[in-house]
Structure 1
């Protein structure tokens, strides 16, 4: 049951990490990276929704926790807020929120690869 979630969440985490790379490229003078940063933000939002859908079978019928679904939906909300802040150029909030989003996505990806616990 975990493989679809593992793949989706790991892909999402890599895409979100790439956001920092694209922002850094833009700040270093590669102005086309801003377009890539913007497009990847949209795709990252879609990827986290795919991860949320992949987390549903962990709960039903997998009888696992519900929180990964809710965490992915919360992460989607943060990404949506992040996109709005980026377009408004509120970098004092955009940058630290981006760091938090990357950390949360990485945490979910790491959790997805932890071994299943078997009930005794």
Structure 2
């Protein structure tokens, strides 16, 4: 693995790991709210906003990984789609459209898990 790959892959791995932790906290916070912890909804919203920032940073890091690090190209559109999904997720959450918020949340969790697992796999360290 060359230096440019290392310099772009490690920040991507770290971001995806932190991103996944925040994504996994969301259903826990929502569940706490539904069981009567009224303050949990504020934390749920705050983590959602943090995920929007994380998603934007994810797009930047996937671009650096794909271009400067000569990594896999498919991670760029995957990062963009995840960023957009998080934006829609936040919007439908604030509008209380739970019919879309819940299944889209499941999709965001699944995509985040898959990306984080991939980032730590040997495949992520191979250049194109």
- TM-score, normalized by length of structure 2? 0.86
Tell whether the 8 Å contact from 1:41 to 1:83 is kept in structure 2 after alignment.
Answer: yes
CA distance in 1, matches of 2:68, 2:43: 38
Residue 68 (structure 2) aligned to one of 52, 61, 83: 61
Match of 1:117 in 2: 126
In the TM superposition, 1:80-99 aligns within 5 A as: 80-99=87-106
Residue 50 (structure 1) aligned to one of 57, 71, 82: 57
**Per-residue Cα deviation, 1:17-69 (whole angstroms, up to 9, x for no partner):** 11111101100100000000011101011112212222222212222222212
Match of 1:72 in 2: 79
Tell whether the 8 Å contact from 1:8 to 1:48 is kept in structure 2 after alignment.
Answer: no
Match of 1:33 in 2: 40
1:12 equivalent in alignment to 2:19: yes
Q: Which runs of 4 or more aligned residues in structure 1 lie more than 4 Å from their structure 2 counterparts after TM superposition?
A: none
Match of 1:22 in 2: 29
Which stretches in structure 2 are left out of the alignment for 5+ residues?
A: 1-5
* Post-superposition offset of 1:6: 0.2
Root mean square deviation of aligned Cα = 1.4
Tell whether the 8 Å contact from 1:9 to 1:48 is kept in structure 2 after alignment.
Answer: no
Tell whether the 8 Å contact from 2:26 to 2:44 is kept in structure 1 after alignment.
Answer: yes
| Larger RCO (CA under 8 A, 6+ residues apart) | 2
Which stretches in structure 1 are left out of the alignment for 5+ residues?
A: none
After superposing the two structures, state which structure 1 stretch, 82-91 or 94-103, moved more: 82-91
How many residue pairs get aligned? The number is 119
SS for the counterpart of 2:126 is coil
